[in-house]
Amino acid sequence: MKIDGKFIAKVAGTLTAICLVVAALLGGVNAVTADKIAAINLANTEASLKAVAATADEFTQMELTDAMTAAASSQGAKVTEAYEVKAGGERVGYAFKMVASGSQGNIEMIVGVDADNAVTGVSIVSNKETAGIGSKVMSNELNAKGVPVLDQFKGLSGAGSLVVGKTVDAISGATVSSKGVTKGVNGALAVAEALG
């Protein structure tokens, strides 16, 4: 059976037109929502910064360096933003926006580190973890020892020394999510150590 060339051209033209219309609609939706999404992400970041460095009165964003990126990568995480944390005009530590893989996608978090390179707090900015399982880690629910899973990182130090099942307790059924957060924290500690 031979297919007519005009038929093929008609179908191709119709599909091309449909693709162009859909692309234009998606572009329009993105234009409308991009600013709102950015504002929500900024608000979440600011709230997370305050959560991990309660005594701070100033956060100064720092430019990322190759050394910072390499340090985070060595722990299986990615640093996307870095802040110098100040109180009373003095630097008291750092805060890093980290990204690490969870069970359903990336977990974006802010990790605070004090001047002695110990964790001051962990706050989740965004995630796609499974509701009722990985989301328990994101909402800081209690682990098997009765400690809020994100709070257990406070005071810990030593990049690479935090290991789920050894120095960090996972939430039952959410081990991959717990490991993702742990990678982010190890990455932040590595970046702080690289800054000296």
| Per-residue model confidence as pLDDT tens digits over 130-186 | 888 888 898 899 888 889 999 999 999 999 999 999 999 988 888 999 999 999 999
Tell whether 93 is covered by a domain. Answer: yes
Give the pLDDT of residue 1: 67
87: β partners? 90
Give the pLDDT of residue 173: 83
Give the pLDDT of residue 61: 94
Cβ distance 94 to 85 under 8 Å? Answer: yes
Q: Hey, what are 173's tokens?
A: 């059924």
Tell whether 45 is covered by a domain. Answer: no
Cβ distance 138 to 107 under 8 Å? Answer: yes
Tell whether 25 is covered by a domain. Answer: no
Tell whether 120 is covered by a domain. Answer: yes
**Helical packing angle, 66-73 and 175-195, nearest 10°:** 150
Give the pLDDT of residue 27: 83
Tell whether 176 is covered by a domain. Answer: yes
Tell whether 27 is covered by a domain. Answer: no
The domain in which residue 62 lies consists of 50-195
Tell whether 23 is covered by a domain. Answer: no
Number of domains comprising the chain: 1
Side-chain-side CA neighbours of residue 104 (13 Å): 13
Tell whether 162 is covered by a domain. Answer: yes
pLDDT under 50: residue ranges of the chain: none
